[in-house]
Amino acid sequence: MQKSLLPSAPAAAVGAATPAAGAGASPAVAFPILLGLSAAHLLNDMMQSLVPSIYPIIKGAYALDFAQIGMITFVFQLTACIFQPVVGWYNDKSPQRYSAVAGMAFTLVGLITLGLANGYGLLLVGAALVGTGSAIFHPEATRMARQASGGQHGLAQSLFQVGGQSGAAAGPLLAAFIVVPAGQRSLVWLSALALLAMAVLYQVVRMSSSAGGAGRTKAKIKAPATATGALSEREVMFAIAILVILMFSKNAYSASINSFYTFYLIETFKIPVQTSQMMLFLFMASTAIGTLVGGPLGDRIGRRRIIWFSILGALPFTLLLPHANLFWTGVLTVFISLIMASAFGAMLVYAMELLPARIGLVAGLFYGLSFGLGGIAAALLGRLADATSLTLVYHLCAFLPAIGLLAWLLPEIGGRQRGA
């Protein structure tokens, strides 16, 4: 079984879907494809981040309460939660090379709807369309990134992820300098970013096809379903469940920042909206840096160690955050973001090594289900904030990283990962 699971390839490519055809050397990392995917991910997540970035505008314009703000986040992330695993499962069985391009079309329509919305109902529809676009984009883009990795899966996923995190960080800047001054309708003009992303992805798919990506995809569908003969199917599913719980703790805390951080800053420190958006940018920019560092480090020292540190290591800083002044609030959120962001790439690659024949499904679960759980958390936290206060919300969320103790239950599936 072990032989069929791990085709003849170097140790660094354990769990990889690389071609077994007569090559004794590892394939090179396809950086042009990875950089193209990273650029598309940047544009995708930049557009997604516009949804929470406009909350201060629409809250006043439509007299929304925190529960309704949380519900917009819930609908936005729930669509990704529902559709991403389904899209990933379908693409595992029947790869759709241009599905990522099609996903951007949903995002395009969603941003236009948000820009032209004249009530709460249309805001929900627009958020749902943007979430659907993300759901369709991520599974196939993640698959292409893994195929282009040359066995350095942590590096590939970090490059892919840093694009997304950079885009998420740029969203508040767009909101601060374009959406806030120009108003809600500026989202219609910003929807042109979706057209640019569609053009980039079209070129990436052509490059991937020329490099033999389609053949690798078809070969991978026939691969066995587990990463190592040392683990039973039950143990693999248990490890996946632990990863989902850890991802929930991470995304629930992130949802408290993305949805309510600007309101918390404005209410607690009496700062203007644009300043609060700049503070949110600092948090998200730190997330991009943490993501870039975490993946390659997981290749070197082991993904389980990175997962353990990145979630539990943020706990001291989250506990201090509700008690800090404005300056130290900014400093602490940077540290929290850096540490927690290093987990995602390691979690994703760890899950792919457990289920190498289900790359699309894994991507759908970890981008979709985990974000959907974060959306549920945002909706619940919004209701709690309405009933009590945002300060209490941040006091309670401070303990979420303690769930990282569950990382102790994850099995070591490959020890230290060596570079290809």
* Boundaries of every domain in the chain: 30-409
Contact between 20 and 7 under an 8 Å Cβ cutoff? The reply is yes
Nearest to 266 by CA among 258, 253, 277, 255: 277
Q: How far apart are CA 414 and CA 302, in angstroms?
A: 8
Q: Is residue 303 within 8 Å of residue 417, measured between CB atoms?
A: yes
pLDDT of 262 reads 87
- In the prediction, which pLDDT does 21 show? 40
pLDDT exceeds 80 at position 401: yes
| Burial class of residue 325 in the structure, from the number of CB atoms within 10 Å of its CB (0-12 exposed, 13-18 middle, 19+ buried) | exposed
In the structure, what pLDDT confidence band is assigned to residue 4 with cuts at 50, 70 and 90? very low
Q: What is the pLDDT of residue 5?
A: 35
102 CB contacts (<8 Å, ≥6 apart)?
96, 136
Angle at 145 between CA 139 and CA 146, to 5 degrees: 90
Integer Rg of the chain from CA: 21
The tens digit of pLDDT for each residue in 326-365 reads 999 999 999 999 898 887 778 888 888 888 888 888 887 7
Question: So what's the pLDDT on residue 229?
Answer: 53
Residue with the two structure tokens 């300043």: 275
Mean pLDDT in residue range 270-274:
87
pLDDT score of 107 more than 90: yes
User: CA–CA separation, 246 vs 365, rounded Å?
Assistant: 13
**What integer pLDDT is reported at residue 418 of this predicted model?**
37
- pLDDT score of 142 more than 90: no
Instruction: Give residue 179's pLDDT.
Output: 83
Rounded distance between C-alpha atoms, residue 24 and residue 8, angstroms: 8
pTM over 0.85: no
For 159-214, the pLDDT digits (tens) are 887 888 788 778 777 877 888 788 788 889 988 999 999 999 999 988 887 765 44
Please state the rounded mean pLDDT for residues 32-58: 87
Instruction: Please tell me the class of the 30-409 domain.
Output: mainly alpha
CA distance linking residue 169 with residue 34, whole number of Å: 20
Enumerate residues 6+ apart whose C-beta is below 8 A from 353. Answer: 14, 15, 153, 227, 228, 303, 413, 414
pLDDT in tens, 206-218: 888 776 544 444 4
Kindly state the DSSP code that residue 179 receives in the 8-state scheme.
I
pLDDT value of residue 11: 37
Can you read off the two tokens belonging to residue 307? 């997962």
DSSP assignment letter at 222: T
Query: Tell me, what amino acid is at 105?
Result: A
